């Protein structure tokens, strides 16, 4: 198998590109006797998702809700405590499936910090040629690929190939990071706050480029961001997380046009108004997100939810399909015992 | 409302053996009591340097100053040591993105606020603590009596930010300087803190300068907005004017390239290129290399900040011609 050719589509357009089932990651909390407190951060708890071929799946949620942990689990930078993954029909890291190395070739990641992710001692050309060379591409072909990659991300190869990271602006460095993610011709790119550190005028350039690359190369994106407007702009479907759990998942139209979960609603109406004559009068919810070390029992949002009732503290709401979207809230589960729920 | 602060033709240049940074290149604005001036600009445009100049917080030996900053008539740039410490301790307060820098980690929140109150008002121990408690209540910290005993690291980000606002207001300042105070906060917490600042500003009748790179945030808090680019204010207008009818090509570009509701599927109007290097003193319009309207007069000399009517100032040779064209 030539590791440098684009991977063939295997299961056809209807087969999800990536399926994750019951992913869990708990981090031990240092401290206490012998440096082990016995407590854990429940960063990601039994999370399942699927990514369709050619779509952009947006992931939103507040700081610490587990977005980056999900990303790192999906490319196996960290090992899940539990859960399985399937890439275009092939189980990952299982006897009859594909290896983690193969997963990491087909799924690439771009991080927020454009500087830290580039080796300061390598020129841009050396950085971009590194992985293709390691996969056995001859030097002359690697040079051609570097030129092609720089062209693709809008950097003139003549001008940029020989530069070092510190000789680039933040926007240019992020273009290089994207070029590097493309170097092995992946199918899925996970963008974790990839435009968040950029100035707005530069962010717009990079967003336009991401849209173009996706069409040109037939890519699939997972786009993680705390910027709800940018997620709305790019995504086909959106996943909303709160304290390690999915609270709502649906089409971008459903999530932004008709949000069902009280947290999604709060998050959307917490966006600053762009209309000076209609400024926000009241914050949609009070207080800070609770500590993920000891998340609230039952529904993790209950400590800030204006609709919380007894059942919310006792029973964890399942992620239930409501038609246009899936929602984890007792108000949407018939017969849950919540006064606003339909009769069973 | 009378002018509380007057900044005139402020220049700030940092000079070190290996490089020079022309960080602020002729900034002028006023702030009235009870008013919020938002300063909007991208990274490196000189927002923080401008703000910190008001407290003269730059390293003395390598900072070159020009122009004037007057608070209630007193010139800050030539102020003596004791007047300066008075200014910093009582007349002007500052809040930042990272509240950790405002608090000493080894003392409780209550101790630090009460101490500031005591120093400022000469109140006794008990009264100072009482005032500290009132301040925590005012910034909506739940169970304030217990929180007085908390150390900074024992509070969540949002709580620390509120406590920093309480500390800033404890000396009853005339002017509050806010440098991206909500940037590190989560969306649902950010909006709470923005509303709090808006409310306290009215209650205490302080002047506020609020620096941010987020247009939405600037719109939520500001009465007027000044847009900075390469160390200059390129446009200054009442918030409604700025949103409805921005005139400067850079302000328009910034608004057009900021993604918001309803832009899905459209191509974004990005501004090409990147901001200029601040090593050189600009000889023409600093935006010229990125501006689609550029013409010879733009680069001949730096354009002036001109009043185009309705307290709307624009630094562009085409300020009048661009009026008729559709807003970005
Ligand atoms: N290696 C680790 N060891 C211990 N705890 C961790 C580790 N990585 C993440 N965490 C914790 O797991 C939780 C989820 O973190 P994660 O980085 O996934 O959040 P996030 O949603 O990406 O947040 P942000 O928006 O701030 O990037 C947090 O409480 C974090 O402190
Ligand atoms: N003490 C200093 N010595 C030398 N250069 C400085 C100093 N402080 C700031 N600068 C430079 O001055 C310029 C303006 O910086 P400033 O911090 O005002 O930007 P800003 O608009 O606040 O940006 P950001 O949004 O990134 O905070 C930058 O090029 C910065 O590197
Ligand atoms: S399950 Fe209960 S607490 Fe959770 S979001 Fe629904 S109503 Fe609120
Ligand atoms: S002065 Fe000229 S270059 Fe500068 S913004 Fe106006 S039109 Fe553009
Ligand atoms: Mg993250
Ligand atoms: Mg700054």
Among A195-204, B242-251, B289-298, the range scoring the smallest mean pLDDT is A195-204
The residue ranges of every structural domain in chain B are 5-244, 284-328
* Residues above pLDDT 90, as percent of chain B: 67
The mean pLDDT of B260-284, rounded to a whole number, is 86
Q: Which residue of A has its CA nearest to B242?
A: A276
Distance from C-alpha of A119 to C-alpha of A125, rounded to nearest angstrom: 12
Distance from C-alpha of B207 to C-alpha of B205, rounded to nearest angstrom: 7
The mean pLDDT of A37-48, rounded to a whole number, is 89
3-class secondary structure, B139: coil
**Residue B41 contacts A, CB cutoff 8 Å:** no
Judged against a pLDDT cut of 90, whether residue A235 lies above it is answered with yes
Inter-chain contact B188–A199, Cβ cutoff 8 Å? no
Residue of B284, B294, B306 to test ligand 4 pocket, by largest number of atoms within 8 Å of CB? B294
Distance from C-alpha of A110 to C-alpha of A207, rounded to nearest angstrom: 13
- Contacts B267 to A, Cβ<8 Å: 208, 211
Confidence of residue B94 (pLDDT cuts 50, 70, 90): very high
CA-nearest of A193, A233, A246, A196 to A65 is A246
Which tokens in the block code for residue A144? 């051609």
Judged against a pLDDT cut of 50, whether residue B326 lies above it is answered with no
**Residue A207 contacts B, CB cutoff 8 Å:** yes
CB B82 within 8 A of CB B74: no
**Residue A226 contacts B, CB cutoff 8 Å:** yes
CA-nearest of A278, A250, A244 to A264 is A250
**Residue A255 contacts B, CB cutoff 8 Å:** no
Q: Are strands B63-71 and B74-75 parallel, antiparallel or unpaired?
A: antiparallel
Q: What is the CATH number of domain B5-244?
A: 3.40.50.300
The mean pLDDT of B164-192, rounded to a whole number, is 91
**Average pLDDT over all residues of chain A:** 92
Which pLDDT tens digit goes with each residue over A154-171? 999 999 999 999 988 888
**Average pLDDT over all residues of chain B:** 91
Which tokens in the block code for residue B328? 């970005």
Distance from C-alpha of B303 to C-alpha of B308, rounded to nearest angstrom: 14
**Residue A36 contacts B, CB cutoff 8 Å:** no
Listed in order, strand segments (DSSP E) in B98-238 are 175-179, 207-212, 224-229, 232-238
- Contacts A169 to B, Cβ<8 Å: 274
Which pLDDT tens digit goes with each residue over B28-72? 999 999 999 999 999 899 999 999 999 999 999 999 999 999 999
Of B188, B213, B239, the CB nearest to A285: B188
Ligand approaching nearest to the C-alpha of B282 = 4
Of B43, B190, B192, the CB nearest to A286: B192
Per DSSP, chain B holds a count of helices (H) and strands (E) of: 11, 12
Inter-chain contact A287–B191, Cβ cutoff 8 Å? no
CB A274 within 8 A of CB B216: yes
Beta bridge partners of A327: A248, A320
Which pLDDT tens digit goes with each residue over A131-148? 999 989 999 999 999 999
Inter-chain contact A266–B254, Cβ cutoff 8 Å? no
List the domains of chain A with CATH numbers: 18-258 (3.40.50.300), 278-344 (no CATH)
Whether the model pTM is above 0.90: yes
Q: Are strands B207-212 and B36-41 parallel, antiparallel or unpaired?
A: parallel
Q: Sheet containing B306-307: give its strands across.
A: B92-95, B175-179, B207-212, B36-41, B224-229, B232-238, B313-314, B306-307
CB A124 within 8 A of CB A153: no
- SS in 3 state form for B9-65? EEEEEEECCCCEEEEEEEEEEEEECCCEEEEEECCCCCHHHHHHHCCCCCCHHHEEE
Q: Which of residues 50-89 of A touch B (CB under 8 A)?
A: 62-63
Residue nearest to atom 6 of ligand 3 (CA): A329
- Please work out whether the CB of residue A124 comes within 6 Å of at least one atom of ligand 3: no
- Please work out whether the CB of residue A327 comes within 6 Å of at least one atom of ligand 3: no
| pLDDT of amino acid B89 | 84
Judged against a pLDDT cut of 60, whether residue A103 lies above it is answered with yes
What are residue B93's phi and psi, to 5 degrees?
Answer: -120, 155
Confidence of residue A4 (pLDDT cuts 50, 70, 90): low
Distance from C-alpha of B93 to C-alpha of A320, rounded to nearest angstrom: 50
- Structure-token match 């454009």, residue found: A114
| pLDDT of amino acid A36 | 63
Distance from C-alpha of A24 to C-alpha of A40, rounded to nearest angstrom: 12
Confidence of residue B328 (pLDDT cuts 50, 70, 90): very low
**DSSP-assigned letter for residue A333:** S
Judged against a pLDDT cut of 50, whether residue B204 lies above it is answered with yes
Judged against a pLDDT cut of 50, whether residue A308 lies above it is answered with yes
**Residue B141 contacts A, CB cutoff 8 Å:** no
Q: Is the model more confident about B127 or about A7?
A: B127
| pLDDT of amino acid B183 | 86
**Residue A276 contacts B, CB cutoff 8 Å:** yes
The number of residues in chain A equals 344
Which pLDDT tens digit goes with each residue over A175-202? 999 999 999 999 999 999 999 888 888 8
Inter-chain contact B268–A208, Cβ cutoff 8 Å? yes
Confidence of residue B325 (pLDDT cuts 50, 70, 90): low
Q: Which residues of B130-162 are buried (b: 16+ CB within 10 A; e: fewer)?
A: ebbbebbebbbbeebeebbebebeebbbbbbbb
CA-nearest of A18, A72, A17 to A44 is A72
CB atoms within 10 A of CB B33: 16
Of B188, B216, B267, the CB nearest to A273: B216
């Amino acid at each position: 198998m030539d590791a440098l050719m684009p991977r063939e589509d295997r299961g056809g357009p209807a087969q999800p590109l990536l399926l994750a089932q019951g992913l869990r990651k708990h981090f031990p909390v240092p401290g206490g006797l012998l440096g082990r407190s016995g407590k854990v951060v429940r960063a990601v708890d039994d999370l399942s998702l699927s990514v369709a071929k050619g779509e952009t799946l947006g992931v939103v949620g507040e700081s610490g809700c587990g977005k980056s942990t999900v990303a790192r689990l999906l490319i196996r930078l960290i090992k899940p405590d539990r859960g399985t993954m399937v890439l275009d029909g092939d189980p990952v890291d299982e006897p009859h499936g594909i290896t983690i190395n193969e997963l990491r070739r087909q799924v690439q990641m771009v991080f927020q910090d454009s500087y830290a992710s580039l080796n300061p001692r390598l020129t841009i050309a050396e950085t971009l040629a590194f992985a293709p060379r390691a996969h056995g591409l001859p030097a002359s072909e690697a040079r051609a690929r570097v030129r092609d990659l720089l062209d693709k991300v809008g950097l003139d190869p003549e001008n940029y190939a020989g530069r070092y990271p510190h000789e680039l602006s933040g926007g240019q460095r992020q273009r290089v990071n994207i070029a590097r993610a493309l170097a092995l011709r992946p199918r899925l790119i996970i963008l974790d706050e990839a435009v968040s550190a950029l100035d707005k005028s530069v962010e717009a350039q990079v967003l336009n480029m991401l849209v173009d690359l996706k069409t040109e190369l037939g890519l699939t994106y997972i786009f993680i961001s705390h910027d709800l407007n940018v997620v709305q702009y790019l995504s086909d479907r959106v996943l909303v997380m709160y304290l390690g759990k999915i609270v709502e998942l649906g089409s971008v139209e459903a999530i932004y046009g008709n949000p069902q979960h009280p947290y999604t609603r709060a998050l959307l109406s917490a966006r600053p108004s762009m209309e000076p004559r209609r400024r926000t009068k009241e914050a949609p919810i009070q207080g800070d997100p609770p500590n993920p070390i000891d998340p609230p029992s039952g529904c993790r949002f209950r400590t800030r939810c204006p609709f919380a009732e007894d059942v919310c503290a006792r029973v964890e709401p399942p992620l239930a399909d409501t038609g246009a979207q899936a929602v984890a809230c007792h108000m949407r589960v018939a017969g849950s015992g919540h006064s606003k729920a339909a009769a069973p | 409302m009378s002018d509380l602060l007057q900044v005139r033709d402020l220049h700030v240049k940092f000079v070190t053996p290996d490089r020079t940074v022309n960080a602020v290149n002729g900034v002028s604005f006023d702030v009235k009591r009870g008013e919020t001036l938002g300063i909007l600009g991208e990274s490196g445009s000189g927002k923080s340097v401008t703000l910190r100049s008001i407290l003269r917080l730059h390293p003395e030996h390598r900072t070159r100053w020009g122009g004037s900053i007057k608070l209630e008539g007193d010139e800050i740039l030539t102020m003596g040591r004791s007047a300066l410490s008075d200014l910093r301790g009582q007349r002007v307060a500052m809040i930042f993105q990272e509240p950790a820098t405002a608090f000493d980690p080894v003392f409780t929140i209550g101790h630090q606020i009460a101490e500031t109150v005591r120093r400022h008002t000469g109140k006794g121990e008990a009264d100072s603590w009482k005032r500290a408690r009132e301040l925590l209540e005012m910034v909506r910290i739940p169970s304030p009596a217990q929180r007085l005993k908390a150390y900074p690291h024992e509070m969540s980000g949002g709580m620390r930010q509120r406590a920093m606002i309480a500390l800033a207001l404890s000396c009853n300042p005339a002017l509050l300087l806010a440098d991206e105070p909500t940037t590190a906060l989560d969306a649902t917490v950010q909006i709470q803190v923005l509303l709090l600042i808006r409310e306290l500003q009215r209650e205490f009748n302080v002047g506020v300068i609020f620096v941010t790179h987020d247009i939405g945030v600037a719109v939520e808090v500001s009465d007027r907005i000044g847009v900075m680019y390469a160390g200059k204010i390129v446009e200054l207008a009442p918030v409604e004017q700025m949103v409805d009818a921005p005139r400067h090509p850079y302000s328009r570009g910034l608004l057009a390239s900021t993604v918001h509701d309803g832009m899905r599927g459209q191509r974004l109007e990005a501004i090409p290129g990147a901001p200029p290097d601040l090593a050189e003193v600009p000889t023409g319009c600093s935006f010229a290399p990125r501006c689609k309207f550029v013409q010879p007069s733009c680069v001949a000399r730096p354009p002036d900040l001109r009043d185009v009517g309705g307290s709307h100032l624009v630094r562009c040779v085409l300020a009048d011609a661009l009026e008729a064209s559709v807003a970005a």
